[in-house]
Amino acid sequence: MATKGSHTYTSSQLESYFERISLPARHRDLSYEVGRNNNAQRDLEFLTALQKHQLAAVPFENLSIHYSPTHTIDLDPGFLYAKIVTRRRGGYCMENNCFFGTVLRSLGFSLYSAGARVSEAAAGSHDSSGYLGWSHMVNIVLATNGNKYLVDVGFGGGGPIQPLPLKANEVSPGIPPHQVRLAYENIEGNSDPNQRLWIFQFRKNSEDAWKSNYCFTGLEFLPQDYEIMSFWTSQSRKAWFTHKIAVVMMVLEKEEVVGVITLVGGEVKRRYKEDEVGLKTCSTEDERIIALKEHFSIDLSEDDRRGIAGLVTELPHG
């Protein structure tokens, strides 16, 4: 029996996915060469294109916790395909990274997933240098030349926009003018000073100090680990996902990520390179439903819309 971690999509499903993310034909041709001829550079180019187009087409969003009859998250790869490709929705970290990992495995990439801890600073405690518990998921892709890459399509506007080699302190571009890197260090709270984790960091420009968004381990996590993690993040009243609505999607121009559009609560904003502007303030449910369709191409069903009734995230009607 296949496990969730070994599930793959069919060739026709992958073609529909390419259409979903508007992947150019020149990149689709590379899908037949993954892992063949030991051409790690071509594989990396294809992986980079997939990640950027995924980020610009499939939003990070936690709407299923709020706009849903069940208020639950399903990490089954088949369900995720129907949600993301057929229904043209997105998902939060474990949904998007589980789905994207299944896409990569189906294409022939070798990979595994790992758990991550979000920094307290990234979660809103700006004066803290500690980390929360396991609540994030990343994919680690193993190239044919032996290199490993962090691939993350589930951290919203603060995550990487391309594969990052698992090499300490190698600087890569983020959403302009941001820069990102991986550090390999001990973290606050560890009893053993010799323990090391990979830490994803960013800075606003070359003169700014590095800030940590999350850390992750090299240990492979299994599907049942994410079931436990996702249950807490989607159901606990201590998890911000349950009391705040967030939708994030990257802006792609000429194959480069240049900005991000966000909806948090009722505020819609767009950051293009260094400039951020407010696009809309939603004061009613009808206005937010329209904003989701207009800015993120998310069209909620009537059943989904009714699901928010009585929740703390519900806006006034009228």
Q: Which residue has the higher pLDDT, 29 or 69?
A: 69
pTM above 0.75, yes or no: yes
Average pLDDT over residues 97-109: 97
Give the start-end residues of each E strand in 65-130. Answer: 110-119
pLDDT score of 1: 37
Please tell me which residue in 7, 27, 43, 152 is annotated as part of the active site: 152
pLDDT score of 4: 58
Block residue for tokens 């474990």: 94
pLDDT tens digit string along 64-85?
999 999 999 999 999 999 999 9
Q: What span, in angstroms and rounded, lies between the C-alpha atoms of 317 and 67? A: 15
**Catalytic residue at 282?**
no
pLDDT score of 236: 96
Sign of the Cα pseudo-torsion (225, 231, 236, 240, in order): positive
- Specify which of 31-35, 143-147, 222-226, 270-274 reaches the highest per-range mean pLDDT: 222-226
CA angle centred on 232, ends 229 and 234, rounded to 5°:
105
Check pLDDT > 60 for residue 3: no
Please tell me which residue in 66, 93, 98, 215 is annotated as part of the active site: 93
Which SS3 state, helix, strand or coil, does residue 60 take? strand
Please tell me which residue in 7, 27, 53, 136 is annotated as part of the active site: 136
Q: What is the average pLDDT score of the chain?
A: 94
pLDDT tens digit string along 6-16?
899 999 999 99
Question: Omega before 177 cis (within 30°)?
Answer: yes
pLDDT score of 2: 45
pLDDT tens digit string along 143-174?
999 999 999 999 999 999 999 999 999 999 99
Average pLDDT over residues 182-189: 95
pLDDT score of 18: 97
pLDDT score of 5: 63
**Catalytic residue at 152?**
yes
Neighbours of 294 (CB within 10 A): 12
Q: Which residue has the higher pLDDT, 32 or 39?
A: 39
pLDDT tens digit string along 269-302?
999 988 999 999 999 999 999 999 999 999 999 9
Q: How far is CA 240 from CA 69, 124, 245, 302, in A?
A: 20, 10, 9, 25
